[in-house]
């Protein structure tokens, strides 16, 4: 399966604007003529800029913040923001070609399956190899499907009988037990055995009360388990705002596909979440109203500092925690963080809090700032 003509045009409009805009700012390829969909283009500059782009995905943030680059509408800018958050770069084993999509299995995490659509042509026509074969590419969300970034490097390598058997076993197990990821950022879709219905001996499992948290049903019990530990720690050592932020981070980890929380000890995950959120909010700084040492935090959980720190580092990467990301920051830190409020408008760096309300509303609508300053209730 591949995209419709309208979708193809939209993809290349976004892709061309992004690659050309980044090159304009970075000067990676000299004399790069602005590409136009429908006209013949030289792929070499795209390949060079693309290689650096996915090693520096923050360039997409800069592209979206800079009003001087890109003639994209709001829906197309939203697609770019989705690419920034949910792109998957790596090597994959192409296992099956179906009418709906081709099934890619991660070469790093065998059993992790993705249903990938072609762009202008089905993938089976783009890479004419017998399955299974290996490709290197970047997967991107596009509407309700997964596509790739127009560059698909296929390896003309023959796999022996033994490795083919291992691939098939991992594929079958992943399809039956985990499912196929059809939309990046949402739970995998499990194949349903034909004609199978619930009987009196197979009652439907009761729901788990997550207290309103937005998590997949398959992760509900795991969420409740880890949330209970986080709530106990926050009640004793932190406050309600910290608890809310930590639980929000937990829910987001539950929603990842596949969720990293499916394995590992609940107590280790809880400690890592609190450590990562606390660290991004300067909890180890004695000048902060609420502070503690990393040793005190680890001791409460009965874990070593290295165990908690390593898990926190993993979570920091998974959630893209940083001083520039207000999603998991305390309100008072957001208010005082100039990096969040300085935006480029008409080529000039300005403090959006000092701009007219109309400019603030536009920045908020586009997701550049977490709230409209004048509307913040103290």
Q: What is the CATH number of the domain that holds 293?
A: 1.10.472.10
Question: What is the per-residue pLDDT for 66?
Answer: 75
Could you tell me if 19 and 119 lie in one domain? Answer: no
Could you tell me if 56 and 125 lie in one domain? Answer: no
Residue 187 lies inside a defined structural domain of this protein: no
Choose from 195-204, 226-235, 341-350 the range with maximum mean pLDDT. 226-235
Could you tell me if 293 and 341 lie in one domain? Answer: no
Among the listed ranges 36-40, 125-129, 355-359, which one has the minimum average pLDDT value?
36-40
pLDDT digit string, tens, across residues 80-116? 989 999 999 999 999 999 999 999 999 887 778 999 9
Helix ranges restricted to H, the chain: 5-26, 43-53, 58-65, 74-86, 123-126, 161-177, 220-237, 240-255, 266-280, 294-301, 305-319, 331-336, 338-341, 357-365
Residue 290 lies inside a defined structural domain of this protein: yes
Could you tell me if 315 and 344 lie in one domain? Answer: no
The average pLDDT across 113-138 equals 91
Question: What is the per-residue pLDDT for 198?
Answer: 45
Domain-ending residue, one of 156, 181, 206: 181
Question: What is the per-residue pLDDT for 68?
Answer: 58
Task: Check pLDDT > 50 for residue 65.
Answer: yes
Residue 189 lies inside a defined structural domain of this protein: no
**Spatial separation of the C-alpha atoms in residues 59 and 71, rounded to whole Å:** 17
pLDDT digit string, tens, across residues 35-47? 887 777 788 888 8
Could you tell me if 253 and 159 lie in one domain? Answer: no
Residue 205 lies inside a defined structural domain of this protein: no
The closest of 218, 123, 261, 110 to 172, measured between CA atoms, is: 110
Could you tell me if 226 and 316 lie in one domain? Answer: yes
Residue 371 lies inside a defined structural domain of this protein: yes
Question: What is the per-residue pLDDT for 249?
Answer: 92
Could you tell me if 141 and 154 lie in one domain? Answer: yes
Residue 19 lies inside a defined structural domain of this protein: yes
Question: What is the per-residue pLDDT for 202?
Answer: 41
Question: With contact defined as beta carbons under 8 Å apart, do 16 and 45 qualify?
Answer: no
Could you tell me if 39 and 110 lie in one domain? Answer: no
Q: What is the CATH number of the domain that holds 165?
A: 2.40.50
Choose from 17-21, 161-165, 198-202, 268-272 the range with maximum mean pLDDT. 268-272
Could you tell me if 256 and 361 lie in one domain? Answer: no
**Spatial separation of the C-alpha atoms in residues 247 and 253, rounded to whole Å:** 10
Could you tell me if 245 and 327 lie in one domain? Answer: yes
377 band by pLDDT with thresholds 50, 70 and 90: very low
Residue 194 lies inside a defined structural domain of this protein: no
CB atoms within 10 A of CB 93: 23
Residue 212 lies inside a defined structural domain of this protein: no
The closest of 112, 104, 92 to 155, measured between CA atoms, is: 92
pLDDT digit string, tens, across residues 259-310? 899 888 999 999 999 999 999 888 999 998 999 999 999 999 999 999 999 9
Question: What is the per-residue pLDDT for 204?
Answer: 44
Could you tell me if 68 and 53 lie in one domain? Answer: yes
Residue 309 structural domain? 217-331
Question: What is the per-residue pLDDT for 37?
Answer: 75
Question: What is the per-residue pLDDT for 91?
Answer: 92
33 band by pLDDT with thresholds 50, 70 and 90: confident
Question: What is the per-residue pLDDT for 40?
Answer: 78
201 band by pLDDT with thresholds 50, 70 and 90: very low
Domain-ending residue, one of 181, 205, 239: 181
Domain-ending residue, one of 85, 117, 144: 85
DSSP per-residue codes, 53-115: HTT-THHHHHHHH-TTS----HHHHHHHHHHHHH-EEEEEEEEEE-SS-EEEEESSSTT-EEE
* Domain count for the chain: 4
Could you tell me if 144 and 172 lie in one domain? Answer: yes
């Amino acid at each position: 399966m591949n995209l419709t003509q309208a979708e193809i045009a939209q993809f290349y409009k976004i892709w061309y604007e992004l690659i050309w805009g980044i090159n304009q700012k970075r000067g990676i390829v000299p004399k790069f003529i602005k590409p136009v969909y429908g006209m013949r283009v030289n792929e070499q500059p795209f390949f060079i800029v693309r290689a650096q782009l996915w090693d520096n995905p923050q360039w997409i943030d800069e592209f979206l913040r800079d009003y001087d680059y890109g003639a994209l509408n709001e829906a197309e800018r939203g697609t770019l923001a989705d690419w920034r958050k949910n792109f998957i770069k790596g090597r994959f084993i192409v296992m099956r070609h179906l009418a709906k999509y081709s099934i890619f299995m991660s070469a790093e995490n065998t059993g992790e399956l993705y249903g990938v659509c072609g762009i202008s042509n089905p993938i089976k026509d783009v890479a004419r190899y017998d399955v299974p074969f290996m490709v290197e590419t970047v997967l991107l969300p596009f509407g309700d499907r997964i596509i790739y970034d127009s560059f698909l490097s296929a390896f003309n390598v023959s796999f022996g009988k033994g490795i083919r058997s291992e691939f098939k076993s991992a594929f079958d197990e992943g399809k039956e037990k985990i499912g196929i990821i059809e939309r990046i950022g949402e739970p995998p879709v499990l194949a349903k055995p034909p004609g199978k219905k619930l009987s009196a001996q197979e009652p439907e499992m009761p729901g788990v009360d997550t207290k309103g948290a937005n998590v997949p049903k398959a992760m509900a019990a795991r969420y409740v388990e880890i949330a209970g530990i986080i709530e106990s720690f926050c009640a004793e050592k932190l406050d309600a705002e910290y608890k809310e932020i930590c639980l929000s981070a937990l829910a987001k980890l539950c929603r990842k596909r596949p969720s990293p929380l499916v394995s590992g000890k609940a107590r280790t995950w809880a400690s890592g979440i609190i450590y990562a959120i606390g660290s991004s909010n300067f909890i180890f700084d004695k000048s902060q109203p609420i502070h503690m040492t990393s040793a005190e935090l680890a001791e409460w959980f009965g874990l070593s500092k290295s165990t908690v720190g390593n898990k926190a580092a993993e979570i920091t990467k998974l959630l893209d925690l940083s001083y520039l990301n207000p999603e998991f920051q305390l309100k008072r830190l957001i208010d005082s963080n100039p990096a969040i409020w300085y935006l480029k408008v008409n080529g000039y760096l300005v403090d959006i809090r000092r701009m007219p309300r109309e400019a603030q509303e536009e920045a908020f609508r586009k997701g550049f700032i977490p709230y409209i300053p004048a509307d913040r209730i103290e």
